[in-house]
Amino acid sequence: MIENQQFLYDVAENYLSLDSGQEYWDDLHCSILEELGFRKNQIKRRRNARKIQYTEVEINGFTAYLTNLRIKEDSLPKGIYAYELRYGSNGLKEPVQASHSVLVNYFGTVLTHEPLSLNEDGFLEIDPKTDWKYLETGAHKFEEIIENEMGGTNG
């Protein structure tokens, strides 16, 4: 291994070890990491929003669609908003906060038709007992979400 490759390998290995391997990479970075010998299951990729399924939820009175995957922002059409959710440190896997990006205690990503009202720090606090519920509507493809205009209940 030449010196530059060893340096890249060391940097990548240290970066992957941060946050228990929860860092997500774009396709170019994934290719570099694979070339350096990292296994595919060590690399978390952001996904194309149009190719995954969602569960319908309600967050602070808004209809939203949840996935446990991180998504590529550039795969969203105009008028669809993505927020990452954080679960609390109390040991329960319930969402307690929404923001544009979550690094620690990642719960999932929600898509909405209307922007959520984030505070000045860029967060929306969620009380899982009153502000969050799963809606029993089954799995939804991205096309259904667009066709249903996010359920038509936001606003």
pLDDT in tens, 111-150: 999 999 999 999 999 999 999 999 988 899 998 888 765 4
- Rounded to whole angstroms, how far apart are CA atoms 137 and 122? 30
Asked whether residue 41 falls in the same domain as residue 81, the answer is: no
Asked whether residue 41 falls in the same domain as residue 67, the answer is: no
Asked whether residue 54 falls in the same domain as residue 125, the answer is: yes
Predicted pLDDT of residue 152: 43
Domain count, the chain: 2
Among the candidates 27, 45, 63, a domain finishes at: 45
On the question of pLDDT at 36 being above 60, the answer is yes
Asked whether residue 69 falls in the same domain as residue 34, the answer is: no
Asked whether residue 79 falls in the same domain as residue 31, the answer is: no
Asked whether residue 101 falls in the same domain as residue 32, the answer is: no
Predicted pLDDT of residue 25: 53
Q: What is each CA distance from 54 to 42, 57, 90, in whole angstroms?
A: 24, 9, 26
On the question of pLDDT at 2 being above 50, the answer is no
Q: What is the mean pLDDT of residues 95-106?
A: 90
Asked whether residue 7 falls in the same domain as residue 57, the answer is: no
Asked whether residue 79 falls in the same domain as residue 144, the answer is: yes
The range of the structural domain enclosing residue 69 comes to 49-152
Asked whether residue 83 falls in the same domain as residue 124, the answer is: yes
Q: What is each CA distance from 86 to 68, 71, 104, 125, in whole angstroms?
A: 11, 15, 7, 10
Asked whether residue 56 falls in the same domain as residue 125, the answer is: yes
Whether the model clears a pTM of 0.75, i.e. scores above it, the answer is: no
Asked whether residue 121 falls in the same domain as residue 65, the answer is: yes
Lowest-confidence pick of 9-23, 38-52, 114-128, 141-155: 9-23
Strands (E), 8-121: 24-25, 44-45, 53-59, 62-67, 81-87, 95-99, 106-112
Q: How large is the C-alpha radius of gyration of the chain?
A: 17
Asked whether residue 103 falls in the same domain as residue 70, the answer is: yes
